[in-house]
Amino acid sequence: MSNEKYTINQIFEILRNSDRHEGIKLLYLYHYNKMYSIAFTFIPKEDICQDIIHNVIHKLLLLDLNKLPTRNELSWLYSVIKNEAMDHFRRTKSTVNIEDIYPIYEEKRISDFVDMDGYFSMIRGLNEAQKEIVTLKVLGGYTHKEISQMLGKPIGTVQWIYSMAVKKLKKLLISLMSLFVMSITGAIITIIKCVESMTSETNGSGDVVESQLNEFLFDLCLSSSIIFCLFVAICLISFFLIFVFSYKIPTKGDRKNV
């Protein structure tokens, strides 16, 4: 399942029965990225997501022990973060600076390993259900089983939605690659035509040849710029897809290990 030393359930056990501050510290240390990914699902802005997580932690610090969940802790935490995100713009921000109590560990910042703006642009073409599940899976590192528990959906449904998102993004990559190939072909044809036009002007004046040469260089630069931009875009998308979808989508036989 997961490599964390402390699971969500174990941390909530500590919060209920032991040192509240120690439980909060462990939650930050081992599950900050996962909490961040939930907030990012609803508000894809890094600074706002950080504020949301701070507010949730502040709530946990002040919440009566008897109100902490005794089961389905992950689903409860998901609901709290989701509600905090939805209420963010109509709430008064807390004056408590949670970083004075628990600093955010730099190695735990999700922006260290993925560009938020680039990521959100990538998933813009997905529907809301696909965005939510892909974000929880990729940025949060949740398993399909955990996502199923959080969203209250069958694990098969979660896997199907994730699979559809993968296929949709792969189609996007194929479309961009096709556009790249067409651009290269067009550039080559343009260059060939320019060269043929220049070589056929054997009796023309020098001004005509110079004009054609300038036109050729302009077309060459324009074509090269377009090809370069497409190449960079495809490289970025390819890197993103390799990073995101290196996970194996489990089959029915694998679900018990999800």
At residue 255, the pLDDT reads 36
Residue 140 included in any domain = no
**Confidence band of 186 (pLDDT split at 50, 70, 90):** low
Q: What is the pLDDT of residues 88-104, one digit of tens each?
A: 766 545 444 444 444 44
Instruction: Tokens 């002040």: give the residue.
Output: 62
Residues 108 and 1 in one domain: yes
Whether the per-residue pLDDT at 109 is higher than 50: the answer is no
Residue 48 included in any domain = yes
Residue 155 included in any domain = no
- For the chain, what is the domain count? 2
Residue 164 included in any domain = no
Q: Which of 84, 112, 140 is the last residue in one of the domains?
A: 112
Q: Which of 112, 139, 160 is the last residue in one of the domains?
A: 112
Residues 24 and 104 in one domain: yes
Residues 95 and 178 in one domain: no
Q: Which of 112, 141, 157 is the last residue in one of the domains?
A: 112
The highest-confidence range among 58-62, 112-116, 182-186, by mean pLDDT, is: 58-62
Residues 102 and 180 in one domain: no
Which class for 33: exposed (0-12), middle (13-18), buried (19 or more C-beta within 10 A)? middle
Whether the per-residue pLDDT at 257 is higher than 80: the answer is no
* 141, 34 contact by CB (below 8 A): yes
State the residue range of the domain holding 80: 1-112
At residue 256, the pLDDT reads 39
Mean per-residue pLDDT over the chain, rounded: 70
Q: What is the DSSP string of the chain?
A: ----SS-HHHHHHHHHHS-HHHHHHHHHHHHHHHHHHHHHHH---HHHHHHHHHHHHHHHHHS-GGGS-SS-HHHHHHHHHHHHHHHGGGSPPPS--GGGTSPPPGGG-GGGTS-HHHHHHHGGGS-HHHHHHHHHHHTS---HHHHHHHHT--HHHHHHHHHHHHHHHHHHHHHHHHHHHHHHHHHHHHHHHHHHHHHH-SSS-HHHHHHHHHHHHHHHHHHHHHHHHHHHHHHHHHHHHHHHTTSPPP-GGGGGG-
The highest-confidence range among 49-53, 65-69, 149-153, 188-192, by mean pLDDT, is: 49-53
Residue 147 included in any domain = no
d(Cα 54, Cα 85) in Å, to the nearest integer? 11
Which of 237, 239, 246 has the alpha carbon at shortest distance from 173?
237
At residue 247, the pLDDT reads 43
At residue 242, the pLDDT reads 53
Residues 103 and 184 in one domain: no
At residue 225, the pLDDT reads 60
Over range 132-141, report the average pLDDT: 79
